[in-house]
Amino acid sequence: MQREIRIALRVTVATLALTGVAYPLALSGLAQLVAPAQANGSLVTDESGRVVGSALIGQRFTEPGYVWPRPSAAGAGWDATASGGSNLGTTSRKLRDRAAAELERLRAANPEAIGRVPVELIAASASGLDPHVSPEAALWQAPRVARARNVDAARVRAVIESQVEGRTLGFLGEPRVNVLLVNLALDRQFGRAPE
């Protein structure tokens, strides 16, 4: 047994050095070499070159001239150091009340929107940092965005449609619109959104 314990100790140290230190360090070096943009967080800049966030991490939008994302349960909302969902179940009164209030807010802010509210706009995402909404959810908001920017709704819809990402290979995941990227596209097209 003493022999096994000696081996155990040595294998512990060896595997720790190999898989716990050497492997991630080597991979980080390689990553910075071959794909630095992705390795460092897929950061996005605006027209002036200022970093405005990551294409992968959702952020809060409340101004009427921007497309809004889904509710976020990360920290106090969109806290990228406290990712997570609401974890409320289907029999939770808190969840139903929150959804009803969100619905009320959306309807008040989008009086001219056509059709019912897409359900994911009142449902918090898993990470609280979901960067996307469905194309339907983005298009549903087009009349509000158009009014705030004082442009034709059809032009806003065209910008949104140009930003739709389809399913990968045609069948994986869901069609979606990246909220930060579509809002940058709107700013490019129509100028900075009025507050």
Partner 1 sequence: MTAVGWLQILAFAAVIFAVTKPLGSYLFRVLEGERRPLERLFGPLERALYAVGGVDPRREQTWLQYAGALLAFSCFGLLVTYAVLRLQAALPLNQQRFGGLSPHLAWNTAVSFSTNTNWQSYGGESTLSYFSQMAALAWHNFTSAAAGIAVAIAMARGFTRSVPEGGARTIGCFWADTIRAIVYLLLPLSGIVALGMLATGVIQNFSPYLEVTTLEGAKQVLGMGPVASQEAIKQLGTNGGGFFNANAAHPFENPTPLSNFASLVLIFAIPAALTHTYGRMARDARQGWALFAAMALLFFAGVSVAYWAEARGNPAFAGLAVEPGAGNWEGKESRFGIAASALYATVTTGASCGAVNSMHDSFTALGGLVPLFDIQLGEVVFGGVGAGLYGMLVYVVIAVFLAGLMVGRTPEYLGKKIEAREMKLASLYILLFPLLILGFAAWSAAAPYGVSSLANAGPHGLAEILYAYSSAAGNNGSAFAGLAADTPWWNTTLGIAMLAGRFLMIVPALAIAGAMVGKKVVPESLGTFPTHGALFGALLTGVVVVVGALTFFPALALGPIVEHFLAEAGKLY
* Binding to partner 1 in span 133-192, by CB under 8 A: 133-134, 136, 167-169, 171-174, 176, 180, 183-184, 187
- CB nearer to partner 1: pick between 118 and 146: 118
Per CB under 8 A, contacts with partner 1 among 73-132 are 74, 78-93, 95-96, 99-100, 103, 107, 115-120, 122-132
- CB nearer to partner 1: pick between 90 and 150: 90
Ramachandran area for residue 26 (φ above 0: left; ψ -120 to 50: alpha; else beta): alpha
Rounded CA-CA distance 6/117 in Å is 65
- CB nearer to partner 1: pick between 35 and 158: 35
Rounded CA-CA distance 59/179 in Å is 8
> Angle at the Cα of 164 (from 167 to 127), degrees rounded to 5?
70
Rounded CA-CA distance 53/117 in Å is 27
Rounded least distance, CB 151 to partner 1, Å: 18
Rounded least distance, CB 141 to partner 1, Å: 14
Rounded CA-CA distance 133/103 in Å is 16
Per CB under 8 A, contacts with partner 1 among 10-39 are 10-16, 18-21, 23-24, 27-28, 30-32, 34-35, 38-39
- CB nearer to partner 1: pick between 132 and 144: 132
Instruction: Name the one range near partner 1 by CB under 8 A: 3-11, 143-151, 154-162.
Output: 3-11
Q: What is the DSSP string of 127-166?
A: SS---EE-HHHHHHTHHHHHHHHTS-HHHHHHHHHHTEE-
